[in-house]
Amino acid sequence: MPTDELRQDAERFLMNTYARAPISIVRGRGSRVYDLEGREYLDFVAGIAVNTLGYSHPDLVAAIQKQAQHLLHASNLYYTEPQVRLAQALVDHSFAKKVFFCNSGAEANEAAIKLARRYAHEKYGPDRYEIITMLQSFHGRTMATLTATGQEKVQKGFEPLLAGFTYVPFNDLPAVEKALTSHTAAVMLEPVQGEGGVHVADRAYLKGLRELCQARDVLLMFDEIQTGMGRTGTLFAYEQLGVQPDVMTLAKGLGGGVPIGACLATDEAAAVFTPSTHASTFGGNPLACAAALAVLRVLLEGRILEQSRRMGDYLVKGLLDCKDRLPIIKDVRGLGLLLGMELAIDGRPVVTDCLARGLLINCTMERVLRFVPPLIITQREIDRLLDTLSQVLSKRV
């Protein structure tokens, strides 16, 4: 079926929530995907920071096949081994002591928000429920998480929003200090704002937040849905930023392409979730957990993290080099393989031009090109991105 026909059917049958590029992806291998017409694309989107091991990774495919033969789903009314082993592995490699599984980023943040409210409620009573989040943040599209998201465009038309959220500018410690009151239950933020234009939290800021929260028994919650699972060069971004949260959420890269989310917490915070306080039918499903376990093993046992750090450095250098030559590039920033390039112009036509040249990139906040390739990306593939990007941007000076 040609792509045009598929597009027409998509318009007929799908709700119009996405402005899709006019290609249909049918398969992938390594860091490349192929469309319905057989054209190859080098992929610096990776399903929006999801496909960390690229496409068709043999270990991931084998784990999914093997689990599918045994058991797809059983319900959390019973124990299933992949779920327990995945939780154990996440606990072994993070600050956290307990894990709750769900199916997406928004759900992971919903769990974190509920956990924070219940923690504060149990310890300090019903007047302590407020959650401080950051402007330009992104936490999801459910009612609670779009309320947590500090962007009007995400909230517009969905009012009344959930009560109990306050917003402060990112990387502004005095603003948090001012916003903290006896009603504050938690401070929630992304260590690197992804959707909000790739902004990295300062170490001193995070350290300050940690101290403020500690002093008042306010939960510090990191949304590592985009930054987690090796995206920034360490398994979790907080490891290299020098601060441990009380609660952390994961999704995107966790299942390497299979939908799964998780909310991780310290023992003390996690203790407020007891049977029937929170639940999810599919959460921690054996298929998704087997996939996530395979991803985690590859990340921990292989040299991928080390290699991805080198590739991140190499890509930053290349992007900075472009910036020196092309004045329409205003800034290059990010961490590991979560990188952004802010332009003085609309980035969306640049994305379209790159697509026509066989390169997938993404644009966020209108002017920020975002690069989130699979963590297995090679130097030659980065060279090709830099080459294509230079050509496309040079035409627009």
Ligand X SMILES: *Cc1c(COP(=O)(O)O)cnc(C)c1O
Site string for ligand X, 94-133 (x = CB under 6 A): ----------xxx--x------------------------
Nearest to 197 by CA among 17, 19, 45, 339: 339
Closer to ligand X by Cβ: residue 251 or 332: 251
- What's the rounded Cα separation, in Å, for the pair 341 and 371? 8
Closer to ligand X by Cβ: residue 106 or 262: 106
CA 235 to chain centre: 13
Closer to ligand X by Cβ: residue 117 or 252: 252
- What's the rounded Cα separation, in Å, for the pair 281 and 77? 9
Closer to ligand X by Cβ: residue 176 or 372: 372
Closest separation in Å from C-beta 258 to ligand X: 12
Contact assessment for residue 332 and residue 339, using Cβ atoms and an 8 Å cutoff: yes
Site string for ligand X, 243-272 (x = CB under 6 A): --------xx--------------------
Structure tokens of 38?
A: 């057989």
Closer to ligand X by Cβ: residue 83 or 145: 145
Closest separation in Å from C-beta 249 to ligand X: 7
Closer to ligand X by Cβ: residue 104 or 184: 104
- What's the rounded Cα separation, in Å, for the pair 163 and 140? 16
User: Rounded to a whole number, what is the largest CA-CA distance in the chain?
Assistant: 61
Closest separation in Å from C-beta 106 to ligand X: 3
Closer to ligand X by Cβ: residue 364 or 388: 364
Please list every residue from 202 through 241 that binds ligand X, using CB under 6 A.
223, 225-226
- What's the rounded Cα separation, in Å, for the pair 108 and 165? 17
Nearest to 185 by CA among 282, 289, 269: 269
Omega within 30 of 0 (cis) for the link into 160 = yes
Closest separation in Å from C-beta 159 to ligand X: 20
Closest separation in Å from C-beta 287 to ligand X: 17
| Region from 13-21, 85-93, 188-196, 369-377 binding ligand X, contact rule CB under 6 A | 188-196
Closer to ligand X by Cβ: residue 106 or 168: 106
Q: For ligand X, which residue of 43, 110, 130, 195 counts as binding (CB under 6 A)?
A: 195
- What's the rounded Cα separation, in Å, for the pair 139 and 116? 15
Closest separation in Å from C-beta 47 to ligand X: 11
Q: For ligand X, which residue of 194, 197, 256, 340 counts as binding (CB under 6 A)?
A: 194
Residue 116 CB: number of other CB atoms within 10 A? Answer: 28
**Total residues in contact with ligand X, by rule CB under 6 A:** 15
Q: What is the 3-state secondary structure of 157-221?
A: CCCCCCCCEEEECCCCHHHHHHHCCCCEEEEEECCEECCCCCEECCHHHHHHHHHHHHHHCCEEE
Closest separation in Å from C-beta 21 to ligand X: 18
Please list every residue from 286 through 315 that binds ligand X, using CB under 6 A.
none
Closer to ligand X by Cβ: residue 90 or 393: 90
Closer to ligand X by Cβ: residue 46 or 225: 225
| Region from 157-165, 190-198, 266-274, 305-313 binding ligand X, contact rule CB under 6 A | 190-198
Contact assessment for residue 12 and residue 5, using Cβ atoms and an 8 Å cutoff: no
Closest separation in Å from C-beta 293 to ligand X: 19
CA 278 to chain centre: 23
Nearest to 288 by CA among 83, 131, 121: 83
| Region from 6-14, 35-43, 189-197, 306-314 binding ligand X, contact rule CB under 6 A | 189-197
Tell me if residue 43 falls in helix, strand or coil: strand
Decide: is 190 part of the binding site for ligand X (CB under 6 A).
yes
Q: For ligand X, which residue of 57, 128, 139, 231 counts as binding (CB under 6 A)?
A: 139
CA 122 to chain centre: 30
Q: For ligand X, which residue of 138, 165, 170, 371 counts as binding (CB under 6 A)?
A: 138
Contact assessment for residue 129 and residue 218, using Cβ atoms and an 8 Å cutoff: no
Amino acid letter, residue 240: Q
Contacting positions for ligand X (CB under 6 A)? 104-106, 109, 138-140, 190, 194-195, 223, 225-226, 251-252
